[in-house]
Amino acid sequence: MSKKSRTSDRQPRTTDHELRTRLIYHFCRMQLPGVHLAWAKFIEHMRRTFAVYQAKAGTDASWEHYLNNFYPLDWFLACACLEGEVFAWDHLFAARAGRTDCLLVDALRARAVRLYPRDEERQDSAVTEFWSHLLVSETPGSVPVLARYDGERPLVPWLIRVFQNWHISQIRNQSGIHSLPEDDVALPLAAEPDGRWHEAFCLAAREAIEKLSDTELLILGLRLRYRLSQREVASLLGVHEGTISQQTTHLRDRCLEEISQQLLSEGWTGNDLSTFVLSEMGSLLMDEPRLSADQLARMLSERGKSLPSERAISH
């Protein structure tokens, strides 16, 4: 064997994920030419976010699975923002938010209006404060919120959910209720569903919501909008915790059954129908007018109670 052959045999072989990683880098640079992220930083972030993914996926984690479900441009943009790239932030501010095709900033503003319905000053500051919040650790030594994004889901819906959960946490904290656990602030989203089934779900879900009583809506609102525990809802309404538990279970099962039957009658053939319904239900309920902060305050007032976030809103 020649010396040249022996030398080539000793060269490390490039793995499949290394080749795909290099292709992803050049693809992102081509699609986002104004966003500068050096190769060394790119690799550093790739290893970091794979570790984030690995911590959630456990023994099932692999580079192949990670890259198969990867959103490269969203991930590239998030990493560039973490590196302080101004053009990356400009690109993110101008990003479009889902089916409404509105700007991300406008989508966040709409969420702020629903969270703080009687406080225009807080609505404005909620959005402007959010961007710096993404780069700040919640507690000393913890990971900044934006650094928890692993590229396994679309960035814009993820940011909207982070915005919503962070402010819910602030409202709870200012109202004397325990704020959300840090990991819940960056709660992951389910994958975007097929457009046809999303529309079918919305129609079925709204029909189910129209049948709910004020008491059922109140329980839903306190559990979802303010993320109160069953014990906290029971204490607020002056009933036994077991009563709230039974009503919550009955409400969930009834809505799940009605919506699932409607989707099946329209030809649903996919797997995990219950998972699809439950994952979609959260965002739809947050946009439901009957579950707005004002409506929940009205229903509580009729019972001689006050909204948990009332002090936070007044400030």
**Residue closest to 257 by CA, chosen among 277, 243, 286:** 277
pLDDT in tens, 169-223: 777 666 555 544 544 444 443 334 445 666 777 788 888 888 888 888 888 888 8
Supply 282's token pair. Answer: 């959260």
**Residue closest to 200 by CA, chosen among 111, 284, 271, 272:** 284
pLDDT in tens, 252-272: 888 888 887 877 777 766 556
pLDDT in tens, 45-99: 999 999 988 888 887 788 888 998 899 999 999 999 999 999 999 888 888 775 4
Q: Backbone dihedral region of 98: left (phi > 0), alpha (psi from -120 to 50 degrees) or beta?
A: left
Could you tell me if 127 and 108 are in contact, meaning their C-beta atoms sit under 8 angstroms apart? Answer: yes
- Contacts of 219-222 with CB under 8 Å at 24 or more apart are 219/244, 219/247, 219/248, 219/251, 220/251, 220/285, 220/291, 221/291, 221/295, 221/296, 221/299, 222/296, 222/308
Domain boundaries, the chain: 17-94, 95-186, 195-314
97 bridge partner residues: 102
Express the helix, strand and coil content of the chain in percent, nearest 5 each: 70, 0, 30
